[in-house]
Structure 1
Amino acid sequence: MVYLVEHFYSIQGEGKYVGTPSLFFRFGGCNMRCEGFGCIEKADDGVEVLGCDTVYAVNKEHFSHTWIPITKPQELLSVLELYDLPCAVDIVLTGGEPLIYANDEVFVTFLELLIARGHQVTFETNGSLNIDFEHYPVYKECVFALSVKLANSKEPLSKRIRGDVIYNIASNAKDAFFKFSIDRDSIDLALEDEIESIRIHSPKTKVYCMPVGGTKAEVEANTEPLIEFCKAKGYNFSDRLHIRIWDANKGV
């Protein structure tokens, strides 16, 4: 079963395509929790859940009331009719982790319909779940933002870094780039080594580093140290433009 948590039309706030008008589909479910990011979301039942800045799309136990079950591709495709969109607007599939549905017939058909209509489709993924590009060639027409998790996520190394998966995606996708979430306390001599240990699986893939934060204040606190790190190491700095503009508001 595919679960859709929310959809919204905005601009891309992160990575290589920052500023691009994009229609976002946020899917529910993830194979990681990333409690190290320290973002807290209060559920309707009063429970405070720790995780990433989209923990409501990760934790089904406390946020299931916002998870919409999808049984047909047309249910997803019909979302496009709710907005006044430019022709072939960019589509961003995020989560949670959208690739938990990579082999789902409904999900794959939805992708095929989007590509057939001329949309650029970008996945925001943690890069730990493999894709069968030969069985599902539609993925070769997609862009992948590889947000591989670093040690600051507090996820185990063997779970968050899968060299074979990174290589497979970067080698077969239409386009791919690394996008790392970094807080000021993680910027030390070991950080470059950690990033390079990931890049070794796809050395030509560009690196974008963005500040950790679920609020404008958190993003701003981590921004300047990260910019200096990027300047010193030659990485690309990626703002989190949507948070800087709209703060912690969802769906913008």
Structure 2
Amino acid sequence: MIYLVEHFYSIQGEGRYIGTPSLFFRFGACNLKCEGFACSEVAPDGTVVVGCDTVYAVNKEHFSSQWGKITKARELLNILELYELPEKSVDIVLTGGEPLLYAQDEIFVEFLQVLHQRGHRICFETNATIAVNFFKYEIYKECIFALSVKLSNSNEPYKKRVRGEVINSIATNAKDAYFKFSVDAESINLGLEDEIFDITSHAPSADVFCMPVGGDKKTVEANTPMLVEFCKAKGYNFSDRLHIRIWDANKGV
């Protein structure tokens, strides 16, 4: 079963295509919890749930009322008709949660194939821990992947968050792939350079983008200055979180 948490037409706020008009599909469920990011969300039942800044797309136990069941590819495709999109095909961004949990689902694959046929650039935001069968489902060779591999600041075990063979496979077979790391100021002084080097060694030709941790404008701004200096010193690309700068903690914009 595919779960869709939300969809919205906005601009890409992170990574290589920052500022690009994009239609986002946020899918529910994730194989990681990332409680180290310590963002919190109040669930409809009043429970305060801690995790990443999209914990409502991770924790089905407390946010199930916001998760819609998808039973046909047409249900996803019909969403495009809800927006006044420009004639030029906009980017389609598949995020979560972890969208690759559905990588082998026939409905999901059909959805991607139709999007590609219509000329959309398809961009995945993934934690890069779930293998993609590029040979059985060739549509993934036409997709772009932002590899948001989690660092130790996520509080996830190394063996769970870093899957070298998966990273290499995606970077080798996809149309394009780049790394996108979430960094807080404290981590910069705690072996961050070695962590990033270890992860990127599995795909050394992929570009590296570092963005500040934060689910609200205040936190993003607090983590930005040291990260900018880190990127300048190491030759990495700094990625702002433009959507948070503009709309703060508001969702679906």
Is TM (by shorter chain) over 0.5? yes
Alpha-carbon separation, structure 1, partners of 2:189 and 2:57? 31
| Counterpart amino acid of residue 230 in structure 1 | C
Matched position secondary structure for 2:211: strand
Q: Quick check: 1:7 aligned with 2:7?
A: yes
Q: Quick check: 1:16 aligned with 2:13?
A: no
Residue in 1 that maps onto 2:134:
133
| Counterpart amino acid of residue 46 in structure 1 | G
Matched position secondary structure for 1:16: coil
User: CA-to-partner distance for each residue in 1:123-179, whole Å, 9 max, x for gaps?
Assistant: 000000000000000000000000000000000000000000000000000011000
Alpha-carbon separation, structure 2, partners of 1:238 and 1:154? 22
Matched position secondary structure for 1:91: strand
Q: Compute the displacement of 1:56 (Å).
A: 0.1
Q: Quick check: 1:221 aligned with 2:219?
A: no
Q: Compute the displacement of 1:201 (Å).
A: 0.5
Task: Give aligned-pair identity as a percent.
Answer: 70
Alpha-carbon separation, structure 2, partners of 1:144 and 1:194? 20
Alpha-carbon separation, structure 1, partners of 2:68 and 2:159? 31
| Counterpart amino acid of residue 18 in structure 1 | I
Residue in 1 that maps onto 2:106:
105
**Bigger shift: residues 235-244 or 80-89:** 80-89
Runs (4 or more) in structure 1 with deviation over 2 Å come to none
Q: Compute the displacement of 1:88 (Å).
A: 1.4
Residue in 2 that maps onto 1:250:
251
Alpha-carbon separation, structure 1, partners of 2:190 and 2:250? 34
Alpha-carbon separation, structure 2, partners of 1:68 and 1:249? 20
Matches within 5 A, 1:35-184: 35-86=35-86, 87-184=88-185
Alpha-carbon separation, structure 2, partners of 1:199 and 1:56? 29
Q: Compute the displacement of 1:76 (Å).
A: 0.1
Alpha-carbon separation, structure 2, partners of 1:70 and 1:33? 23
Alpha-carbon separation, structure 2, partners of 1:6 and 1:190? 36
TM-score by length of 2: 0.99
Alpha-carbon separation, structure 1, partners of 2:84 and 2:32? 34
Alpha-carbon separation, structure 1, partners of 2:89 and 2:160? 36
Matches within 5 A, 1:179-194: 179-188=180-189, 190-194=191-195
Q: Compute the displacement of 1:188 (Å).
A: 1.6
Q: Compute the displacement of 1:189 (Å).
A: 5.4
Alpha-carbon separation, structure 2, partners of 1:177 and 1:112? 22
Equivalent residue pairs, number? 252
Matched position secondary structure for 2:191: helix
Alpha-carbon separation, structure 2, partners of 1:174 and 1:118? 14
Alpha-carbon separation, structure 1, partners of 2:53 and 2:163? 23
Alpha-carbon separation, structure 1, partners of 2:109 and 2:90? 19
Q: Compute the displacement of 1:44 (Å).
A: 1.1
Residue in 1 that maps onto 2:30:
30
Matched position secondary structure for 2:196: helix
Q: Compute the displacement of 1:65 (Å).
A: 0.4
Query: What are structure 1's unaligned runs of at least 5 residues?
Result: none
User: CA-to-partner distance for each residue in 1:77-119, whole Å, 9 max, x for gaps?
Assistant: 0000000002311000000000000000000000000001000
Alpha-carbon separation, structure 1, partners of 2:128 and 2:193? 19
| Counterpart amino acid of residue 4 in structure 2 | L
Alpha-carbon separation, structure 2, partners of 1:225 and 1:62? 35
| Counterpart amino acid of residue 8 in structure 1 | F
